[in-house]
Amino acid sequence: MSNTEERLKSNIDKARLIFLQEINERLPEALKSIDCIKGYGYDIQSIERLYKFTHTLRGSGETIGMFGISHPAAEMNVALKLIKNYGVKLEKGIIAFLDERLEEIVEEIGDNHSNNNLHFKISKSSNSKKKIYVIDDDATVTSLVSEVLTEQGFKVMAFHETKKAEKYIKIEQPDLIVLDIILSTEDEGIEFCRKIRSCECFKLIPIIFLTRKNELNDKLEGFANGADDYMGKPFQVEELAARVHSILNRLEIHQYLILRDELTQVYNRRYLEQRLPEEVAKAKRIGSIFSIAMIDIDFFKQINDEYGHATGDDVLQSFVELMNKSLRTSDVICRYGGDEFIVIFTDTPKAVANQVLERLRDEVAKRPVMLIKDKVSINITVSIGVAGFDEDGTSVDELILSADSALYNSKALGRNMVSLSKRESNNIV
C-alpha cells in the first residue's frame, strides 16, 4: 500500500470511529422515539427526530463506506419522509418496518464496535441523570452494584442503613431504590419500603429488593409491601442492571403517556400545571425571564360544523405539526384544552416571543391545511396573547390571566392577531 493509500485508509478509519461515536450518542434518542411510536402511534416530534437521525446516517454512512448502516437508514429516511410530508399513514406495517430497519442499524453498529460493548454506551447516555439508591449493609454488595450502575451512567448513592437514606430521600427523590431486607433488624428493608410507600409523593419510586431472604413467602411479603421486583442473593449484577433498565424504561414510557395530549401528542394540561410553577420558581430563584403565549384557533367551531369533528381533529393535528416545525425545541407546547394551546418560551423575553409568534401567525394564515384524505384545503387563522415574566405577572395564575386578556384583545380586535399583555389593563394589582 502506498503512503497516500495508507493515509487515506487511516483517515477513513478515524472518520468511522467518530461516526460510530456520534451514532452511539444519538442512538438512545432514536430508540426512545421508535418506542414512543410503537407504544403510541403518530408523534411528530419522534418522527422528526428519527428523520434527522436517519438522514445523518444515510449521508455520512455512505461517504465512509458503512453501507450496512447507510442502507437501512436510507430506507427508514424515505419512509419517514412519506409519513412527514406526503400524508402516508403510520400504520402497523410501517412501524414494524421502521423498527426492523433500526434494529439492523443497531446490530451493525454492535458488530462494528471492537469491544462489542454497545448496550453499555446506550445505557450510559439515556440514563445519565437518573438517581439510584442502593441500601445494603454489605459493603461488597453496595460497592459492586454502585460500580456497575455508575459505569452505565446512573448517579448512584450507597447507604448501609435505611435511616440515612430516609433523610436524603426527602431532599432529592431517587428514580429507583435497590433495597436489602435484613439490615440491622430482620425486616428493616420491609419496614422502610412500607414507610415510603405510605407517603403519597414516594408511591411511584420503583423498589427492587435484593436479599438473602429467598423463599416464596419472603417474596410474597416483599411484593405485598410494595416491591416492584425481587432478586435473591447470590445474584448476577448484570441481571440486576438489566432489571433496573427495564423498570426505568417502562416508567419513562408511562410518564410520557400521562403527560401528553392524546390527539396531538404535544404536552397536556397536566404537564403545563407541573411545568409552569417550575419555570416561575426557577425565574425567581436565578432571576431569569420567560414568556408564555395563549394561542386559539379562530372560529374553530365552524370547521367542526362544516366538515365534521374528525376533520376538526385533523386540522388540530396539522396546526400542531406547523407549530412543531416553526418553534424551537426549547419552546414547550401544551394543549390547554379544545382549540387552545399554551406555549412556554423558556429564557425568552416577550419581545422575542412576539416576533416568533408573529411569524407563526403569518404562516398559519398563509398556508391552508391540506387534508388529502378529505380532498379539502381549509384556511385557518389563530389569535394569540403573550405575557412575560415578570412584567405581566409573577405567579402562574397572573401570567395565565395576562396571556388570556391579551388573547381576548386579539379576538376583540378582529382575530388573526398577536397581542402583548399590558399588565395595567388586566387590573392585576
Task: State the residues that interact with ligand GH3 by CB under 6 A.
Answer: 263, 296-301, 304, 309, 312-313, 316, 338-339, 411, 415
**Shortest approach of Mg ion to residue 300 CB, angstroms?**
4
Q: Which is nearer to ligand GH3, 168 or 408 (CB)?
A: 408
**Shortest approach of ligand GH3 to residue 337 CB, angstroms?**
7
Binding Mg ion by CB under 5 A: which of 339, 392, 398, 404? 339
Q: Establish if 296 lies at the interface with Mg ion (CB under 5 A).
A: yes
179 and 135 Cβ atoms separated by less than 8 Å? yes
381 and 415 Cβ atoms separated by less than 8 Å? yes
Between CA 405 and CA 408 the distance in angstroms is: 5
Phi, psi (rounded to 5 degrees) for 346: -70, 145
Where does this chain touch Mg ion (CB under 5 A) — which range of 218-226, 289-297, 313-321, 401-409? Answer: 289-297
Residue facing ligand GH3 at closest CB distance: 312
Q: Establish if 51 lies at the interface with Mg ion (CB under 5 A).
A: no
Pairing of strands 176-179, 207-211: parallel
**Shortest approach of ligand GH3 to residue 308 CB, angstroms?**
8
Q: Which is nearer to ligand GH3, 59 or 338 (CB)?
A: 338
Q: Which does 312 bind (CB under 5 to 8 A by kind): Mg ion, ligand GH3, none?
A: ligand GH3
Q: Establish if 398 lies at the interface with Mg ion (CB under 5 A).
A: no
Q: Which is nearer to ligand GH3, 135 or 272 (CB)?
A: 272
**Shortest approach of ligand GH3 to residue 333 CB, angstroms?**
16
How many chain residues interact with Mg ion (CB under 5 A)? Answer: 4
Between CA 175 and CA 208 the distance in angstroms is: 12
Chain-centre distance of CA 94, in angstroms?
Answer: 22
Task: Collapse the DSSP code of 290 into the 3-class scheme (helix H, G, I; strand E, B; otherwise coil) and give the result.
Answer: strand
Q: Which does 313 bind (CB under 5 to 8 A by kind): Mg ion, ligand GH3, none?
A: ligand GH3
**Shortest approach of ligand GH3 to residue 285 CB, angstroms?**
36
Between CA 12 and CA 371 the distance in angstroms is: 46
Q: Which does 359 bind (CB under 5 to 8 A by kind): ligand GH3, Mg ion, none?
A: none
Where does this chain touch Mg ion (CB under 5 A) — which range of 105-113, 336-344, 388-396, 416-424? Answer: 336-344
Task: Collapse the DSSP code of 205 into the 3-class scheme (helix H, G, I; strand E, B; otherwise coil) and give the result.
Answer: coil
**134: closest CA among 234, 208, 193, 237?**
208
One-letter amino acid at 16 equals R
Count of all residues that appear for the chain in the document: 429
Where does this chain touch Mg ion (CB under 5 A) — which range of 95-103, 174-182, 248-256, 298-306? Answer: 298-306
358 and 386 Cβ atoms separated by less than 8 Å? no
- Please list the residues that pair with 419 across neighbouring strands: 385
Binding Mg ion by CB under 5 A: which of 133, 202, 290, 300? 300
Q: Which is nearer to ligand GH3, 39 or 337 (CB)?
A: 337
Neighbours of 139 (CB within 10 A): 10
Q: Which does 331 bind (CB under 5 to 8 A by kind): Mg ion, ligand GH3, none?
A: none
C-alpha cell at 282: 426557577
What stretch of H or E contains 12? helix 3-40
C-alpha cell at 254: 408511562
Q: Which does 283 bind (CB under 5 to 8 A by kind): ligand GH3, Mg ion, none?
A: none
Please calculate the CA angle 136-141-145 and round it to the nearest 5 degrees: 100
Q: Which does 263 bind (CB under 5 to 8 A by kind): ligand GH3, Mg ion, none?
A: ligand GH3
Give Cβ neighbours of residue 252 (< 8 Å, ≥ 6 apart).
32
Q: Which does 338 bind (CB under 5 to 8 A by kind): Mg ion, ligand GH3, none?
A: ligand GH3
Q: Count CA within 13 A, CB hemisphere, residue 338.
A: 12
Residues that bind Mg ion (CB under 5 A): 296-297, 300, 339
